[in-house]
Amino acid sequence: MSEPEDVSRGLPATSWAVLGMLAFGEELTGNDLKKWADWSVGFFYWSPSISQVYAELKKLEAIGFVESRVVSEPGVRGRRLYAITEPGTDALRTWSRDAPVEVPVLKHGVMLRLWMGHLNDPERLKALVAAHIANVEVQLRRAELHADHADNEPAWSFPRMTLRWSVRYFRAEIELARELFDEIDNASAEFAKVADHDQFGSPLPISPGRWKNVEAHVRALAQNSSDI
């Protein structure tokens, strides 16, 4: 007899995030879930569009992890409420306990622009960093406010914990960004030593293609460290 199909196999983490937001004992609309994501997981994982939320709900309902019902009131357009099912709860519990721990993927737009900083001047790069710090300070204040709002609610103790972590993360990000002001000057001084440029003004490296050997170089360093 063949094993029953595991319908949770291959679900992306965003599906589990939506399912997790339904695991707090409340029926929620898609708009509720969008607000709930912005209030909590949006600080450290995912701030979805409303269309993404409904796409995930549709997928989860199709495999039986979520169920919905329409609630109508006189003179008011009906609202579709979503709730997690018992199979959904079981699958979510299994995923939260047993899924492999993944390395976080950082997509840092400001760092990408600094990485190609030779296309810009130092003062403009510093202005980008200053704008980034201002943005993070806004997020820091929001995370602090949301964490404080979660006080005195035992059901939100773990969301509050992650919000407090977000506060510490944003503070660390601000400190790291502030260090970049001096580092931009240092990088600019070093870049001034580049001897040759192409017709577009791009720098010509002393050893073209050196980046291809980075992996081998890192392996050699790791091997030398283990031999000590």
What's the pTM? 0.83
Each residue's pLDDT tens digit, 12-58: 889 999 999 999 989 999 999 999 899 899 999 988 899 999 999 99
pLDDT at 2: 40
135: helix, strand or coil: helix
Angstrom CA distances, 180 to 122, 131, 133, 183, stand at 11, 13, 11, 5
pLDDT at 188: 95
pLDDT at 27: 95
Side-chain-side CA neighbours of 24 within 13 Å: the count stands at 15
CA atoms of 77 and 49, how far apart (whole Å): 22
CA atoms of 213 and 221, how far apart (whole Å): 12
Each residue's pLDDT tens digit, 89-105: 999 999 999 999 988 88
Q: What is the DSSP letter of 213?
A: G
CA atoms of 7 and 15, how far apart (whole Å): 12
CA 36 to chain centre: 15
Report whether 166 contacts 143 (CB < 8 A): yes
